[in-house]
Chains A and B, each alone.
Chain A
Amino acid sequence: SQQGEEDPQALSIQEGENATMNCSYKTSINNLQWYRQNSGRGLVHLILIRSNEREKHSGRLRVTLDTSKKSSSLLITASRAADTASYFCATTGANNLFFGTGTRLTVIP
């Protein structure tokens, strides 16, 4: 990818469990965003964390950012079948918005 990589590439969990996805990136960033993509659809923004923030919450989502390690994680708590989708991290610099390779999450009812 042009900027980041997600880990794992695929994740399968049971409904109600928590899902954790990780993102590593290469260069300095202004902020990091997480997006979700349902099959055959465009991406939808989930949450943004600024480079001077370490943790952020939004509903069942928790995002962490470690700029020293150039990494971020997305935690989805109490997962639901409807959370099944691909999740991407995106980093922004001055003139770009680069996406990682994505994690395919499957939540089994």
Chain B
Amino acid sequence: DAGVIQSPRHEVTEMGQEVTLRCKPISGHNSLFWYRQTMMRGLELLIYFNNNVPIDDSGMPEDRFSAKMPNASFSTLKIQPSEPRDSAVYFCASSFGTGDYSEAFFGQGTRLTVV
């Protein structure tokens, strides 16, 4: 397996534009996490899916953020409209199980810059 695949690797966009980040989890994994990493706030859990269903989205910062998982092999994180403070590295991770006794496998991340 190629691991967790995220696209794009880098995204530069203007304030107010819509941004869509994509993630393909490892085949067979049933848990998917979206994280945001910044120097100031570290790694923040944004949302957690289990079996394609959002279980905990309490970390989603604002209504401008939305995430979907239409099937077991694909998830998106959308920001609309984007703002400069959304600039960060966004990671997707997947695991098998509920996460209690499972290691998470991370993608390489998408570095988002909003100017």
Sorting the interface of chain A by its residue count into under 10, 10 to 19, 20 to 34 or 35 or more gives 20 to 34
Q: Kindly provide the distance from the CB of A25 to the nearest chain B CB, expressed in whole angstroms.
A: 14
Which of A45, A50, A95, A101 lies in contact with B105, CB distance below 8 A? A45
Q: Are A2 and B101 in contact (CB under 8 A)?
A: no
Known contacts: A2-B45, A31-B100. The answer to whether A97 contacts B59 by CB under 8 A is no
> Contacts A44-B106, A50-B101, A99-B45 given; 5 further ones with Cβ under 8 A?
A30-B101, A41-B108, A42-B109, A96-B99, A101-B42
- With A42-B109, A45-B105: A95-B44 Cβ-Cβ less than 8 Å: no
Q: How far is the CA of A1 from the CA of B44 in the complex (A)?
A: 7
Secondary structure of the A contact surface, majority rule: strand
- Chain A interface (Cβ < 8 Å from any Cβ of B): 1-2, 30-31, 33, 41-45, 48, 50, 88, 90, 92, 94-102
In the complex, whether B96 has a CB less than 8 A from a CB of chain A is: no
Bound Cα distance A96, B109 (Å): 19
Which residues from chain B sit less than 8 Å from chain A, CB to CB?
Answer: 4, 33, 35, 41-45, 48, 50, 55-56, 59, 91, 93, 95, 98-101, 103-109
Return chain B residues, CB-CB under 8 Å to A41.
108-109
Docked Cα-Cα span, A80 to B91, in Å, equals: 27
Q: A43-B106, A96-B99, A97-B45 are in contact. Are A2 and B59 (CB under 8 A)?
A: yes
CB distance from A27 to the nearest CB of B (A): 14
- 4 tightest A-B CB contacts, nearest first: A42-B106, A45-B103, A99-B43, A30-B100
Asked if A100 and B42 sit within 8 Å, CB to CB, the answer is yes
**6 A–B contact pairs at CB < 8 A?**
A42-B108, A95-B98, A97-B93, A97-B99, A98-B45, A100-B42
> Closest Cβ of chain A: how far from B66's Cβ, in Å?
19
Distance (whole angstroms) from the CB of B79 to the closest CB of chain A: 20
Which of chain B's residues has its CB closest to A41's CB? B108
Residue of A whose beta carbon sits closest to that of B43: A99
B91 and A43 contacting across the interface, CB-CB below 8 Å: yes
In the complex, what distance in Å separates the CA atom of A97 from the CA atom of B105?
Answer: 12
User: With A92-B99, A96-B56 known to touch, is A1 a contact of B43 (CB < 8 Å)?
Assistant: yes
